[in-house]
Structure 1
Amino acid sequence: MKAFRCRVCGAQLFFENSVCVSCGTALGYSREEHDIVPLNQSGQYVDSDGMIWHICRNLNLSGCTWLARIKGEQCDSCALTRVRPNDADLEGLENFVPAERAQRQLVVEIDRLGLPLRSRVDDPEEGLCFDLLSSVSQSVTIGHADGVITIDLAESDDAYRERVRDRLDEPYRTMLGHFRHEVGHYYQWQLVRSDDEAARFRALFGDERADYQAAIDEHYANGAPAGWRQSYISQYATMHPHEDFAETWAHYLHIRDTIDTAVSFGLISEPPADQRFREQVVNVWMPLTAALNGVNRSMGKEDLYPFVIASDVLDKLDYVAELVGANTAR
């Protein structure tokens, strides 16, 4: 994440700050300016064009600090949420807060990449929306279908998520990771459409027309194939080309965002703009994660990035980076 600074006193801010702890200024996040901005005594922000912005109505519900165009309305990120827990579901609402936080971070990442992001309201056929469902009284399956991303809010609970991670023998499982993975399915659906693009996709990931349910059954019956680390970023990626792409997409976002964060905080120099992504992974990401993993170990914690990136995975990451670059909003 960007290293934000208070425009009033210059103190360091973090993405979710609603108030500057140094000078007490009320704050909001401006999606248009990609920055945290100060609010006036009326709780408004007036931009350089004279437009008045208002704090999102969900500040007290989900901790959202984003700005909305109309007083009493939702911000752009919250408007992507189609379904949330009802007000009587206290456990669901508690888990709703970190899920919405992860969703906002995802929107920032998509904006930074320059990818088109249409809501379900603006594009009922192919727009994006999120159903953030409580599994307190119903079974919820995380997934994507034609622009609708479903998230199980139980995954916001650290203890629950760790039990699932351990049961599935996963090295890494976070709410933000779920959002990144599922939006990978969405952008595959949106961006891999032409015959030429489909051919490039299949050369790397395999034929996505293979029976998905049969692939699921095979994966959970027999696990990942021997030697999977030579071609896949995770065991889950071996299940089906759709999942291989989504896992690769998620790691592309993991890597991009962490490198950008490290640059913003002055830990590393910004990679050259003309450098291929695979070169950034080899020359920047691998040394950075080796150092960060060492820091985690020195604190008695697990590795921050417990993955090995083989040459075939580098090719897939490079493909995702090229796909993003070819489809950024002009």
Structure 2
Amino acid sequence: MKLFSCQCCQQALYFENTTCESCHHPVGYLPGLSVLTALEPMGHGRWHPMEPQVRNAELVYCSNHEHDACNWLTTPSQTGQPPICFACRFNRTIPNLKDPKNLERWRKIEVAKHRLFYTLIRLKLPIRSWREDPDNGLAFDFLDDAPDGSAPVMTGHNNGLITLAIREADDAERERMRVEMGEYYRTLLGHFRHEIGHYYWNVLVRDAGRLESCRAIFGDDSQDYQEALQRHYNNPPPEDWRERHVSSYATSHPWEDFAETWAHYLHIVSTLETAWAYGVTIHPGIPDPSTLSTDGPMNDPYLTATFDEIMDAWVPLTSAVNSLNRSMGLADFYPFVLTVGVREKLAFIHALIRETQALR
């Protein structure tokens, strides 16, 4: 994530800001430019952005702004329907907002989902909505469990439809599930990055003629998926799973391996952009710091950095932040090991994304 600043007073702004805390200008996000802009009122809910590239545009907030669930800007509706921003157009079902608890859950979900869309746009990945492609387009259902507790909602993906159980927005419930499932890491943003990996397996592998090259790295995805999951849950993972998989869940089926690896690639490029936006470099005070040092500013991890540059920056950064967390008595920031086998899979994801960018 980049750092932003107010065009009016140069105060630092953060991605979720709706107001500059210094000059009190309203601010909104311009997804096409990846810019957070201060706004000047025009009246009737319309705004002029102070961002010079679009200074004369007439924009409105997404209608979900009224719920404090979105700060993205869009053009005024020409149909009389509420204006919906790019990220919110993919919502198919949202929780019942008459329940205050659901409203708070949905706000947390939208924070994570909007960060996902920031990354997808920065990576210049193709995205088609369920309205454009009813069979395979991307859509989100945010669903609550039935009141009687029967048939709890399962987070997952099915031909472009991503379902998220909104109980995942409850910190205590999500932590309980993390421990119960034996996971190192479980967050809303992690769920989104994993499930969108399934969507992009469809788009960039299945539908783009890359099945054989993907199978050469991740294995034969034609094996029965439900049987593979059942085996995974009924048996411990292979003892050497860390040699080839970023998580134990990734061992269950090649689709899950791809999605887990995809999610980690998004973790990496997003976090590296944030670190370098803050000017973070790593130079440990040990006799031989070479393996845990960074050389300073790197190329854009989303668009131009090579895979080796990304890996050379990621390992020192995670080592430093893991150590900082331990000093605070917290769990590791990144509790995963990127072995040679895992890096091979991450390199496939990197090449897949770079090839896609080159075609756009």
Q: Percent identity?
A: 42
Query: Is 1:185 the counterpart of 2:229 in the alignment?
Result: no
- 2:29 partner letter: Y
> 2: distance between equivalents of 1:316 and 1:292?
24
List gaps (5 residues or longer) in structure 1: none
CA contact (8 A) 1:143 1:150 kept: yes
User: Where does structure 1 differ by over 6 angstroms across 4 or more consecutive aligned residues?
Assistant: none
- 1:189 partner letter: N
**Aligned-partner SS, 1:125:** coil
User: Which is worse superposed, 117-126 or 216-225?
Assistant: 117-126
In the TM superposition, 1:195-234 aligns within 5 A as 197-234=210-247
Query: Is 1:86 the counterpart of 2:96 in the alignment?
Result: yes
Which residue number in structure 2 is paired with residue 266 of structure 1? 279
Shift of 1:90: 3.0
User: Which is worse superposed, 106-115 or 188-197?
Assistant: 188-197
Deviation per CA, 1:130-152: give whole Å up to 9, x if none. Answer: 11112263621111111110011
In the TM superposition, 1:50-129 aligns within 5 A as 50-70=56-76, 72-129=82-139
Indicate which of 310, 314, 327 corresponds to 1:280: 310
Indicate which of 255, 278, 284 corresponds to 1:242: 255
> 2: distance between equivalents of 1:235 and 1:173?
13
User: Which is worse superposed, 113-122 or 152-161?
Assistant: 113-122
CA contact (8 A) 2:279 2:297 kept: no
CA contact (8 A) 1:278 1:317 kept: no
Q: 1:195 to 1:251 in 2, by over 3 A?
A: closer
Which residue number in structure 2 is paired with residue 158 of structure 1? 171
> 2: distance between equivalents of 1:17 and 1:186?
29
Which residue number in structure 2 is paired with residue 320 of structure 1? 349
CA contact (8 A) 2:48 2:55 kept: no
List gaps (5 residues or longer) in structure 2: 282-295
Which residue number in structure 2 is paired with residue 253 of structure 1? 266
Which residue number in structure 2 is paired with residue 141 of structure 1? 154
- 1:130 partner letter: F
> 2: distance between equivalents of 1:276 and 1:195?
23
CA contact (8 A) 1:171 1:306 kept: yes
- 2:298 partner letter: P
* Cα RMSD (Å): 1.7
Larger Rg: 2
The TM-score, its normalising length taken from structure 1, stands at 0.95
CA contact (8 A) 2:2 2:273 kept: yes
**Aligned-partner SS, 2:92:** strand
Which residue number in structure 2 is paired with residue 301 of structure 1? 330
**Aligned-partner SS, 2:314:** helix
